[in-house]
Amino acid sequence: MMFNYIYTTFLTILYTVVMSLSLSLYLKEREKNYLLVSLYFLLLILNGLIVTMSETFQIFANDYNRQFMVNPIIETIYYLATFGIALKLVTELFEEKITTYQYGIYIVFALWLIVVPFMANSALKVWLYYFPSQLLTVYLGIYLLIHNRKMIPKSSLGKYVKLIGSLAIFFGLAIVVEDTFIIYFRDIYHTNMLKIHNRNVSEDIFHISLCLIAIKYFLTNYQKGNEEVAVIDIRNEKNETNDSVSNFEEDEYYFKRFMDKYGITQREGEILELLLQRKHNQEIANQLYLSLGTVKTHTHNIFIKLQVEKRSEVCEVWEAFEKSELTQ
pLDDT digits (tens, 9 = 90+) for 159-204: 888 899 999 999 999 999 999 999 999 888 876 777 888 899 999 9
pLDDT at 248 over 70: no
Distance CA 50, CA 60 (A): 9
Higher pLDDT, 93 or 127: 127
Write out the H or E segment, with its range, that includes residue 44: helix 32-56
Higher pLDDT, 113 or 276: 113
Q: How much is the pTM?
A: 0.73
CB of 48 closer than 8 Å to CB of 8? yes
CB of 152 closer than 8 Å to CB of 282? no
Evaluated on CA atoms 289, 290, 291, 296, the torsion sign reads negative
Residue 244: its pLDDT value, please? 46
Residue 240: its pLDDT value, please? 44
Residue 270: its pLDDT value, please? 87
Distance CA 272, CA 281 (A): 11
CB of 64 closer than 8 Å to CB of 50? yes
pLDDT, average across residues 4-21: 92
Distance CA 106, CA 112 (A): 10
Higher pLDDT, 41 or 195: 41
According to DSSP H, which parts of 116-233 are helical? 123-151, 156-185, 201-233
User: Mean pLDDT lowest for which of 2-11, 60-69, 127-136, 243-252?
Assistant: 243-252
Mean pLDDT of the chain: 84
Residue 218: its pLDDT value, please? 84
Residue 42: its pLDDT value, please? 96
Count of C-beta atoms within a 10 Å radius of residue 184 = 12
